[in-house]
Structure 1
Amino acid sequence: MGEAWGAPLVLLYLLALRALVQVSHRQLLSPPARGEEREGYLDNITAIGPRTVGSPENEVHTVNYLLEQIKAIESESTDAHKIFVDIQRPTGSFSIDFLGGFTSYYANITNVVVKLEPRGGAEHAVLSNCHFDSVPNTPGASDDAVSCSVMLEILYTLSKSSEPLQHAVIFLFNGAEENILQASHGFITQHEWAKSIRAFINLEAAGVGGKELVFQTGPENPWLVQAYVFAAKHPFASVVAQEIFQSGIIPADTDFRIYRDFGNVPGIDLAFIENGYIYHTKYDTSDRILTDSIQRAGDNILAVLKYLATSDMLAKSFEYRHGNVVFFDVLGLFVLAYPARIGTIMNYVIAAIAFLYLGKKVLQPKNRAINNLKKFFAAFGLMLLSWISTLVTVLIVAVFISLIGRSLSWYTHFYVSVFLYGSAAVVKLILVHTLAKKFYYKNTNDQYLGDVFFDASLMVWSVVLAMITRIGLCSAFICTLWVAFPLLTKLMTHEEFRQKGATMKFVVMYMLGMFVPYLYMMYLSWTVFEMFTPIMGRSGSEIPPDVVLAGFIVASTMILSSYFINFIYLVKSTKTTLITLTTVFVVTLILVCSGIFFPYSSDAANPKPKRVFLQHANRRFHDLDGNLVKSDSGIWINGFDYNGISHITPLVPEINDTIRTPCEERAPFCGLPWILPVHFMFRKNWYLPASEIFPASPIHFKVLTKELTPWNSLRLSFEVSGPSHMSLYIRPHEGSALSTWSLGDGTPVASVGGDYFVFYSRGLQASPWHFWIELTKFDYCDHTKLVVSILKPVSFDAQHEHESVIAHLYQIVSDMKVQFVYDAIIILTINLCY
């Protein structure tokens, strides 16, 4: 095989696959013009502005708008259905294993619940869930106003149908998802309609528009996946996404967890994943969500809801809870799904066939079996060595880029990472095998080497297939593709290769045989990159994003090169390829080091902003006798990516490493107003001194009673009133322990470091918060330090001596298109002794 045509042919093959993947990912619809109702729903909800829990925008204006639209829909419904509407304002608490331990308390938050059922009534129901609240400083079009708009349209469509449903459909417009999933908990644990729910569909977002991905199902209940497979008109689903999300790699969670864990209800979780750069920013506006994205989501969700609401299995859903299911879409055209137990059998059978094929080939003829085994395992070891050395080399480059302060140079220009890390990975792979061919295999037949390295690749994937199947991951189906199709390809091309070697006909036959696994791997890889690249801009100050992305690219390179490594031994030379790729790598490295690729973009059409979180905080530290030992006020600054504030310091000199926030180790959570600073993601903080802030709703914290219990413990009860968001931190003093409390299920859940964190939020007109804790009593007077931080959106009006610096900071940050949130924090320390 000549390098002059071999290398370009492989490149064109991969580019053609990439083009097909691009077409598939952009495979949206061309529907009629956007309907008036749908346009009105989304635009009108986002026009209300940011909808944080406890604000009039969330608790009053959005609720009133939803009620008006539901009433209008009800007036046009047919006689085949009945519509019931309920406003729920629950109060409750729960604990989840989130950020290392997290307890949530909510009071008088708001849910708008609509039930559509047959005229004769229904015993069972399917739930559709969206949330209308948003994080501060964003109109929340994709997260999650568009889903609520789609649900209104679905409600309208179903209510207008003359075809009666078999089961009820409950539409939950929940008003407190961004507050750590509070509203869904209030509904599923307290609302009377929740008892009838047998399945749910949760509508979420991790990006803005595009195709909505089914990234969680179950638990178990394969009939739910089958419902999606049968009903969805434009499927996009992957069990790989499910296993990645549930592994905890992505720092997020959805209402799916609440319905699964507290309601014991199976469901489907789906989300928009495109353009996550502007997720949770002020750029998340309705005009950025394409009509065909909304149409796709509406078609799919309507079809699946209608299917479930007329399904005989819904009423007996618990009887169908048996095992997991393997599911994945094929280029968005259709979904393949089968029980995981069938997949396990199929995986082991295919792995066994591959092992038998390799064993028979290596061990024949018998008089050369030992020599064949040595050569086979030498190729196997060389392949693993090439992968390890490639990974180490590329990670060294990524660490170097991080150390010189050029992280995220690819954030706005993704292909920079491909040219930098991808070219380095391919060069190292080719170089290792070229050197092996020249010095280790210098007198060995090229045709034999090509054959043995193909078999080595097949062996690697067969071993991986058996191992992943043994672990129990449904994602093992990918390895099945990488064993079955190459094995068939080898059998198909064996005669041509044996007789004529690496001819053009052989190469074409070979690439056609590899078409399915390579196309699917490119499709899956691009989906992963589309999700994870924006996440690197909000992954915290401790995770080097270049190292993570470089690792992804190396993994993709190793996988995609698996069955092309043998081509290195079939070509006469790799010199031109190595020189070309090395040149690409060196030029890209120089450009990246020069800083020409600025990470962020304020392009109005396609912004990729830097995220910085600002909070104006007052802090007061007391000793155990109640004496004030330290007091300060300032702007607490957290950079949401690895670059921290390095791009801000040149413009605002006051913001530099001289104001790094020290950890007050004797105070809970370092004496800072988040649970996150002690979390591994956010250890770098900055604190710019500023004047004291005076919240409009100050906290009132009272110790109501101290009661010594018969079992030698102390019960302390409290009353707290204040703003809509508060955080309670508890650290029992040495010699005491927090044994029980009135929150959650009564069992305290410790956070990182053994402290306790409680997040509180309320709607309007909530009663004061009452709770109690119980401490075990030891041999001496125990102390418990409680730190309460109050988060309250505020505005600044140029009254303070540091206002010029603060105003300058805000202006610069705004000019850089940096998203930020104003919050005021008060910290109180209370000495409690008995």
Structure 2
Amino acid sequence: MAVVTLVGVYALVTWSRQPPSPVPADAPPTVFSEARAAPLLRHLAADIGSRPQGSSRDAQSAEYLAQRLREIPGLEVQVQDAQGALVGPDRAVAYRVRNILARLPGREPGAAVLISAHYDSHADAPGAGDNAVAVAAAVEVARALAAGPQPRHDILFNLNGGEEYGLVGADAFLQHPWAREVQAVINLDAAGPGGKSLLFRATPDAAGLLKTYASSVPHPFGSVVGEDLFRAQLVPSDTDFRVYRDRGLRVLDSAFIEDGYAYHTPLDTPERVTPGSLQHVGSNTLALARALAEQPPPPSAQAETSIYYDLLGGVMFVYSARTALALAGLSTLGVLGALLVAWRRGGVSPKAVGWGAAVTLAGLLAGLCLPVALALLEAYLFKRPHGWYATPSLAWLGFGTLALVGPLAVASAWVRRAERRGVPGAAQALTLWAGGLLVWALLQGLLVALGAVVAYLACWWLLPGALGLAAACQWPRWRAVLAWVAFLPGALLTAQSGLLLLELFIPVAGRSGPVIPFDPVIALLIAFIVISAALTGLPALLPQRRLGRAALALSLVAVLAAGVLALRSPYTPERPKRVTLTHADEEGQSRLWVDGADFLELEGLLPGLSTSSRHGTAQQHRISEKPTGRQAPSLEVIPAGEGPEGTRRVTLRWHGESGERLSLFIPRKALAGWSLTPPLPTLPEDERTYTIHALMKPDVSWEVTLLLRGAAPVKVQVRELAEGERTPALESARAALPSWVTAGTRIVSLRSLSL
């Protein structure tokens, strides 16, 4: 029954994550059709291909999208060419960007809804999932809206460029007059080309938008757990959501997260997009835009994170943080009430509850430590980390079984002790049940105190568990059945969130950096999923004298899985290792750099890579190479006269190639101001550098005037970067890589300059 239940939960959750069936091209014009939207997706990602900001393909994409939108009757289309700078405390991104804007006029002015999706891509990727799917969906949504009744309020579209360059297209849109009308933003993005589009972030004042989403979309799919991940900076990327949020707009952020192996690689092709994914994001966006434009919800009275999540893709729960706190309090009171009933009717004394909690805690700690220990052994003793990367089922088999061994082994030892003391089997089950609920209540309190939104999961374990325990004390013959029924709600919701996290984080391990192996992180994630089930699931197995044998059997499975993990190659051509090949000219010398994106070594990956050729970290190697053959950065230095209070002005004019990026690394103590808008923030006058990034557009130079302190020359580091470009040396290196490696390429020129 335990195995059948767990397999059933997994199958049900997996089934619920399948996208809807695509709608054919002959569907009514007011309906979203994947078949009608798919040609635009294929044109962007296959015919045009990679579309990095500033390139000719980027301009071609913008022209094509403007043409497609102009073909839709009733749409007002504008091409916005904007420039500006995103300025932070340690860097500035100066930009020139082109956005394709469209407006579907409403019956009443004000309260416009904005649908935003970026059309540019990473330099090394065709960008089918990131983000041609969302762009194709937005255009088809515009067509379906224009074919229907006129909305009450305007619906705007921002198909923006420069997202990959630093979210600059969204910043540029906010300069446009239309931006002043926006009351709600639907942002569409992707971290992979597959599955459903997940609603994973909302601004604190977007409770009304979330409720409208829950009541209007045909295929709800969302999880507030994403809020915790971004707050903890566990996701190594961001979206235009941040720009809109920082400017005070109410925003919902949705993205595809499945098949992150293809994200920002040449594998992100139209063929990789799951059938139905385009239908899912399009149908939901169309329904949500119609609902928001017809009846825009007022801003929330209080800015607080809302709790939202779907149940098996059929219903969406949305409630406030105050309601979540009330539910946490209610579930805690329910546990206390159930413990009282267990004492009075079930004979479970407070001392027994304490023993049950102690056994549960010991099992929890063992269930967490054993998988992490295996992960560390694989990474450091066997030196074979990431064996699960291309085969995630091995992670479940190895780490998941060990996570179960801990509570099973501890419970088995306690059962034997209880039997020697003459404690009946039914009393053992009630004791462990009561102790597990008490531990869950304590964990819930800890999560609430930390402000973690994932605390909502505890209610789904505690409330059914408390009701089940109280009922089992009233009707002891039905104890096992009641325990299984109480187990299912928490198991379903936890499995949903857990599988989403693993779907995201296992591919992220391939670009997590060389600092630590990702094995312990994956082991902990799986262990938490399994342990949460074990906390209240074990009582359903009692009385059971074979828990020790089950723990031993699972230990043997884990040992076998560990052996497979150590022997298994972590990569396949479909789920490859990521590296970056850089051909660099630096102060008269030329080198080929090879950087790995994960913890695994690069030895033997290319001829010339050996222990003696390491440089910096364990993941970066250099091979002597001929010069790139590219000209040094064409950077004019023009003295521009004296400035105020002992400063001087220097103008820099850059003539690079389209799509190239210039970076200036300037000592903060020397930098007093600039000609960019907005102005330079107040900087500490220390030895650290401030970075200014600029992007070259076709046939247009870029210039900036700097205000420098003092008359002494200022040493500035200059870097010119061309991502996605290749030299013969880079082509040769790419050809020599194994089939299970995917490589990004870039050409870099580095030099020093005195200003």
TM-score, shorter chain, exceeding 0.5: yes
Please say if residues 24 and 36 of structure 2, whose CA atoms lie closer than 8 Å, have aligned partners that are also in contact.
no
Please say if residues 124 and 724 of structure 2, whose CA atoms lie closer than 8 Å, have aligned partners that are also in contact.
no
Partner deviation per Cα, 1:738-779 (whole Å, 9 max, x = no partner): 45545544216799994323322233233422132444x6xx
Quote the offset at 1:389 in angstroms: 3.2
Quote the offset at 1:824 in angstroms: 1.5
Does residue 138 of structure 2 align to residue 147 of structure 1? Answer: no
Match of 1:462 in 2: 441
1:434 to 403, 412, 415: 412
Counterparts of 1:92-107 in structure 2, within 5 Å, are 92-96=84-88, 101-107=90-96
- CA distance in structure 2 between the partners assigned to 1:14 and 1:223 by the alignment: 36
Quote the offset at 1:248 in angstroms: 1.5
Does residue 607 of structure 2 align to residue 633 of structure 1? Answer: no
Match of 1:53 in 2: 53
What percent identity do the matched residue pairs reach? Answer: 24
Please say if residues 222 and 320 of structure 1, whose CA atoms lie closer than 8 Å, have aligned partners that are also in contact.
no
Does residue 565 of structure 2 align to residue 592 of structure 1? Answer: yes
- CA distance in structure 2 between the partners assigned to 1:608 and 1:753 by the alignment: 43
1:551 to 504, 507, 524: 524
2:324 to 321, 325, 343: 343
Q: 1:703 to 1:482 in 2, by over 3 A?
A: farther
Quote the offset at 1:795 in angstroms: 5.7
- CA distance in structure 2 between the partners assigned to 1:526 and 1:380 by the alignment: 28
Say which SS state the counterpart of residue 685 (structure 1) adopts. strand
1:785 to 691, 712, 715: 715
Say which SS state the counterpart of residue 221 (structure 2) adopts. coil
2:203 to 218, 232, 240: 218
Please say if residues 90 and 186 of structure 1, whose CA atoms lie closer than 8 Å, have aligned partners that are also in contact.
yes
Letter matched to residue 734 of structure 2: Y
Letter matched to residue 103 of structure 1: A
Quote the offset at 1:610 in angstroms: 1.4
Say which SS state the counterpart of residue 87 (structure 1) adopts. strand
Structure 1 runs of 4+ off > 6 angstroms?
A: 749-753
Partner deviation per Cα, 1:623-647 (whole Å, 9 max, x = no partner): xxxxxxxx4211122111111424x
Between stretches 214-223 and 559-568, larger displacement belongs to 559-568
- CA distance in structure 2 between the partners assigned to 1:249 and 1:205 by the alignment: 16
Letter matched to residue 693 of structure 2: F
Counterparts of 1:167-566 in structure 2, within 5 Å, are 167-188=153-174, 190-261=175-246, 263-313=247-297, 317-318=298-299, 322-358=303-339, 372-403=349-380, 404-438=382-416, 442-445=420-423, 446-497=425-476, 505-566=478-539
Q: 1:343 to 1:796 in 2, by over 3 A?
A: closer
Counterparts of 1:749-828 in structure 2, within 5 Å, are 754-775=688-709, 784-793=714-723, 803=729, 808-813=732-737, 815-828=738-751
Does residue 114 of structure 2 align to residue 130 of structure 1? Answer: no
Partner deviation per Cα, 1:65-89 (whole Å, 9 max, x = no partner): 112212222xxx2xxxx42221111
Match of 2:585 in 1: 618
Q: 1:116 to 1:321 in 2, by over 3 A?
A: farther
Q: 1:121 to 1:494 in 2, by over 3 A?
A: closer
Partner deviation per Cα, 1:545-601 (whole Å, 9 max, x = no partner): 1111111111112111111333566212324313321221122222233x2x21111
- CA distance in structure 2 between the partners assigned to 1:131 and 1:797 by the alignment: 29
Does residue 667 of structure 2 align to residue 732 of structure 1? Answer: yes
Match of 1:32 in 2: 24
Q: 1:579 to 1:339 in 2, by over 3 A?
A: closer
Q: 1:552 to 1:706 in 2, by over 3 A?
A: farther
Quote the offset at 1:731 in angstroms: 5.0
Say which SS state the counterpart of residue 95 (structure 2) adopts. strand
- CA distance in structure 2 between the partners assigned to 1:553 and 1:703 by the alignment: 59
Letter matched to residue 614 of structure 1: L
1:582 to 555, 558, 563: 555
Between stretches 393-402 and 461-470, larger displacement belongs to 461-470
- CA distance in structure 1 between the partners assigned to 2:541 and 2:643 by the alignment: 78
- CA distance in structure 2 between the partners assigned to 1:703 and 1:308 by the alignment: 53
Letter matched to residue 120 of structure 2: D
Quote the offset at 1:203 in angstroms: 0.7
Say which SS state the counterpart of residue 753 (structure 2) adopts. strand
Match of 1:721 in 2: 655
Structure 1 portions without partners, runs of 5+ = 1-8, 621-630, 663-681
Please say if residues 114 and 185 of structure 2, whose CA atoms lie closer than 8 Å, have aligned partners that are also in contact.
yes
Q: 1:574 to 1:351 in 2, by over 3 A?
A: closer
Quote the offset at 1:521 in angstroms: 1.1
Please say if residues 110 and 183 of structure 1, whose CA atoms lie closer than 8 Å, have aligned partners that are also in contact.
yes
Partner deviation per Cα, 1:489-509 (whole Å, 9 max, x = no partner): 112222333xx5xxxx53223
Match of 2:546 in 1: 573
Q: 1:758 to 1:442 in 2, by over 3 A?
A: farther
2:8 to 16, 21, 24: 16
Does residue 754 of structure 2 align to residue 831 of structure 1? Answer: yes
Please say if residues 305 and 321 of structure 2, whose CA atoms lie closer than 8 Å, have aligned partners that are also in contact.
yes
- CA distance in structure 2 between the partners assigned to 1:494 and 1:236 by the alignment: 38
Say which SS state the counterpart of residue 210 (structure 1) adopts. strand
Structure 2 portions without partners, runs of 5+ = 26-32
Between stretches 410-419 and 448-457, larger displacement belongs to 448-457
Say which SS state the counterpart of residue 395 (structure 2) adopts. helix
Please say if residues 215 and 238 of structure 1, whose CA atoms lie closer than 8 Å, have aligned partners that are also in contact.
yes
- CA distance in structure 1 between the partners assigned to 2:198 and 2:584 by the alignment: 39
Quote the offset at 1:94 in angstroms: 1.4
- CA distance in structure 2 between the partners assigned to 1:392 and 1:698 by the alignment: 53
- CA distance in structure 2 between the partners assigned to 1:392 and 1:825 by the alignment: 45
Q: 1:827 to 1:701 in 2, by over 3 A?
A: farther
Match of 2:30 in 1: none
Quote the offset at 1:703 in angstroms: 4.8
Please say if residues 695 and 792 of structure 1, whose CA atoms lie closer than 8 Å, have aligned partners that are also in contact.
no
Quote the offset at 1:826 in angstroms: 1.3
Question: How many correspondences in the alignment?
Answer: 742
Say which SS state the counterpart of residue 151 (structure 2) adopts. coil
Please say if residues 487 and 537 of structure 2, whose CA atoms lie closer than 8 Å, have aligned partners that are also in contact.
no
Say which SS state the counterpart of residue 582 (structure 2) adopts. strand
Does residue 100 of structure 2 align to residue 112 of structure 1? Answer: yes
- CA distance in structure 2 between the partners assigned to 1:139 and 1:479 by the alignment: 42
Between stretches 176-185 and 425-434, larger displacement belongs to 425-434
Quote the offset at 1:232 in angstroms: 0.5
Quote the offset at 1:310 in angstroms: 1.3
- CA distance in structure 1 between the partners assigned to 2:355 and 2:15 by the alignment: 41
Quote the offset at 1:184 in angstroms: 0.9
Partner deviation per Cα, 1:223-257 (whole Å, 9 max, x = no partner): 11011112111110111223323431111100000
Please say if residues 656 and 696 of structure 2, whose CA atoms lie closer than 8 Å, have aligned partners that are also in contact.
no
- CA distance in structure 2 between the partners assigned to 1:411 and 1:495 by the alignment: 48
Say which SS state the counterpart of residue 195 (structure 2) adopts. coil
Say which SS state the counterpart of residue 157 (structure 1) adopts. helix
Please say if residues 702 and 720 of structure 1, whose CA atoms lie closer than 8 Å, have aligned partners that are also in contact.
no
Does residue 620 of structure 2 align to residue 685 of structure 1? Answer: yes
Q: If the length of structure 1 is used for normalisation, what is the TM-score?
A: 0.83
Quote the offset at 1:289 in angstroms: 2.0
